[in-house]
Amino acid sequence: MLAVEKKWSKKSSDQVLVVGVREDDNGLPEELEKGNKSMFAALNRQWTDGAIATKKARVTNMAVLDEDETLQQLIFVGLGTRSSLTLAGLKEAFGAAVKAVHEQKATKIGVLLDTFCDESVSLGEEVATQALSDAVLTASYRFDTYKTKKEEQRNYAYTIYAQNGESEAVRAGIHRGRAFGQGVNLARTLVNLPANDLPPVALAEEAEALAHRYEKISSEILDINELRSLGMHALLAVNRGSDHPAQMIILRYQGEETWENPLALVGKGITFDSGGYSIKPGHGMKTMKSDMGGAAAVLGAFEAIGQMQPQKNVIAIIPATENLINGSAMKPGDVLQTFDGQTIEVNNTDAEGRLILADGVAYARHLGADKIVDISTLTGACVVALGDVITGALSNNDALYEAFEKSAEEAGEPVWRFPTHPRYEEMVRSSDVADLNNSPGREAGTITAGLFIGAFIHETPWIHLDVAGTAFVERETPMGPKGGTGVMVRTLATLARQSNF
Ligand code: BES
Ligand code: ZN
Ligand code: ZN
C-alpha cells in the first residue's frame, strides 16, 4: 500500500523513516529538521561523526530517542554525490532501502521523497516516486511457489511524504512504478517456473489470463493444426522432439482507434532447451527452463502496457515449444521450410531459437507489423561478450534504435548495439543445400544469430535483443534475487509509450 502526505512530523513514531543522504552535502536534509528538531540535533551529531553512510545504495539503520523519550527509527540510504546520481542509481538505492525494511521486519514505512529528488539531474518527484513504487514491488520479490514453509507475508504500509502532497506527478509515478513492478515480477515468475509446470500450453494459458485482466488486450492461440496449415515448419521442426504441442501465442493491445500498423514484440518461448541432438552438456542445460525469457519479457511488458494504456497498437507474438529429443526430433542436416518461404539447413539443433523466431517475425510481418522488436535468450556468445548486466542489440534502422535506446535509458536498463557487416550476412547464407544456415560457426556468434532472424525481417524497421546473459542471473543483484530478472520489461513498455518514432 502506498499513501501520500504533505509533511512528515514526529507524531508517526511507530513508522520507520527512510531518508536519502548525499556524499557532498554538509549535513542531513533539512526536511528532517522541519519534522522533529530535537531528533535532528541528535542525528546531526551522528552525521558529524561519520556514522551515516552516504555512498551509493549504502544503508544505515539508526534509532534515536527524541526529547519526549520516544524512539524514532530511521533508515538512511546513501545516494553518492549529487552530480553522479542517475535513475539507475536511484533505483538501486530504493531497492536497498526496501531490502532493509524487509530485514528489519518493519511494516509501517515513511519515505521523505524530496530527499531523493534532484531536478538538476532530471530526478523530479514523478521519476523518484516511480522508482520507489517499482522497488517496493521488485525488491521484495521472492519465488517461493514450491517452498512448503513460506516466509510470512507482511502487509507493508508505505507513506510518501512529498512537498506538494499528492500531486499529479506523484500519482503518475506511483501508477507507472506499479505497472513496471507487476510486469517485471510476472516475467520473473514465468522464468522461474520449472519446465515441468510451464509447457507451451501453460504459457499460452498465462497469456490468455493476462488478456482477461485488461479490456484492451485480446488473445489468440494458434494450435498445432493451425501451425501446420499455415506452414510454420521451422517452429514445428523444433517441436517434433517434444510430447508437448507447440503454440503460437498472440496478444493484441489496441491503443488507437483503429487496428493498424502495430509495433510487434516477438519473444522466444522455448520452455526448455536441451539442445536437441546437438545436446548441451549438463552444466549448460541446468538453467534452460529460462529459455523463454524473451517470451516472459514480452508478457511482462504487456502487463505494464495493459495498466499504462499507451495510445499505440502493440502485438505480442510468442512461438512456444520445448527443444527435446525423441525418434522424430529434427536432426543436424535437416532442411526446413518456413512460413516466409525461405529454406533453412539445420547445422546445429541447439540453434533452435532463431528457427522459431524466423516463423515468429515472419508472422509479425504477415499481421501488418510496421516495426518489430524480437527478444530472446539466443546465444551463449552474448553471455561471454556482455555478461549478466548488459543486453545485446542489433538493428537495421537508426531512427528506431535511437527511440529504443532512449527508452532503455529511461527504464534504467543497459543495452549495447553490435555492429553488422556484409561478411556476417554472407555467413548466415553459407549453406550448400538451402537458403540459410542456422549455425555458421563460433565467430561473431551473437551477430550472425541476429542477422539470421534479420533475413526474415526484410525491410521492416527492426530491433533484435539478446537477453541470454541478462534474463536469468545466478547471483543476487542490487535489482533483485537470483533467477529470472524481468529484464527489458520496463524498456519495452517505455518504448510502447513513446509516440515519436
Ligand atoms: N538457449 C541457448 C542460448 C543460451 C545460452 C541462453 C546460455 C542462455 C544462456 C541457445 O538456444 C543456444 O543453445 N545457442 C547456441 C547456438 C549455437 C549452437 C550456434 C549457443 O549459443 O551455443
Ligand atoms: Zn539451443
Ligand atoms: Zn535456446
Atom of ligand 1 nearest to the CA of 382: 21
- For residues 380 and 433, membership in a common domain is answered with yes
- For residues 186 and 69, membership in a common domain is answered with no
- For residues 65 and 186, membership in a common domain is answered with no
Structural domain boundaries enclosing 426: 181-497
Q: Is residue 124 a part of any domain in this protein?
A: yes
Atom of ligand 1 nearest to the CA of 377: 6
Residue 264, pLDDT > 80, answer yes
Q: Which residue, of 102, 136, 163, is where some domain finishes? A: 163
Say what percent of the chain tops pLDDT 90. Answer: 88
The alpha carbon of 235 and the centre of ligand 2 are apart by a number of angstroms equal to: 13
d(CA 306, CA 185): 15
Dmax (CA) of the chain: 85
Residue whose CA is closest, atom 16 of ligand 1?
351
More confident site: 123 or 69: 123
The best mutation among 378, 438, 448 to test binding of ligand 1, ranked by most ligand atoms within 8 Å of the C-beta, falls on: 378
The answer, as to whether pTM is greater than 0.85, is yes
Average pLDDT score over the chain: 96
CB 28 within 8 A of CB 19: yes
Residue 423 a catalytic site member: no
Secondary structure (3-state) at 498: coil
Smallest CA-to-CA distance from 378 within 482, 495, 295 is with 295
Query: How many beta carbons lie within 10 A of that of residue 175, not counting itself?
Result: 15
Residue 442 a catalytic site member: no
- For residues 122 and 185, membership in a common domain is answered with no
CATH of the domain at 188: 3.40.630.10
- For residues 64 and 191, membership in a common domain is answered with no
Q: Is residue 170 a part of any domain in this protein?
A: no
C-alpha cell at 271: 520452455
Mean per-residue pLDDT, 184-193? 98
Smallest CA-to-CA distance from 418 within 388, 458, 390, 455 is with 390
In tens, the pLDDT along 387-416 reads: 999 999 999 999 999 999 999 999 999 999
Q: What is the pLDDT of residue 57?
A: 94
Lining residues, ligand 1, CB within 6 Å: 273, 291, 348, 350-353, 377-381, 383, 439, 445, 468
- For residues 198 and 229, membership in a common domain is answered with yes
The alpha carbon of 288 and the centre of ligand 1 are apart by a number of angstroms equal to: 9
Residue whose CA is closest, atom 17 of ligand 1?
351
69 is in an annotated binding site: no
Q: Is residue 169 a part of any domain in this protein?
A: no
- Residue that the C-alpha cell 531536478 belongs to: 119
Rounded to an integer, what is the distance from CA 406 to the centroid of its chain?
Answer: 16
Burial class (CB in 10 A: 0-12, 13-18, 19+), 187: buried
C-alpha cell at 61: 539503520
Q: What is the pLDDT of residue 41?
A: 86
The alpha carbon of 332 and the centre of ligand 2 are apart by a number of angstroms equal to: 13
How many domains does the chain divide into?
A: 2
What is the chain's alpha carbon radius of gyration, rounded to the nearest angstrom? Answer: 25
Atom of ligand 1 nearest to the CA of 438: 19
CATH of the domain at 32: 3.40.220.10
223 is in an annotated binding site: no
352 is in an annotated binding site: yes
- For residues 41 and 78, membership in a common domain is answered with yes
The best mutation among 271, 348, 350 to test binding of ligand 1, ranked by most ligand atoms within 8 Å of the C-beta, falls on: 350
- For residues 91 and 140, membership in a common domain is answered with yes
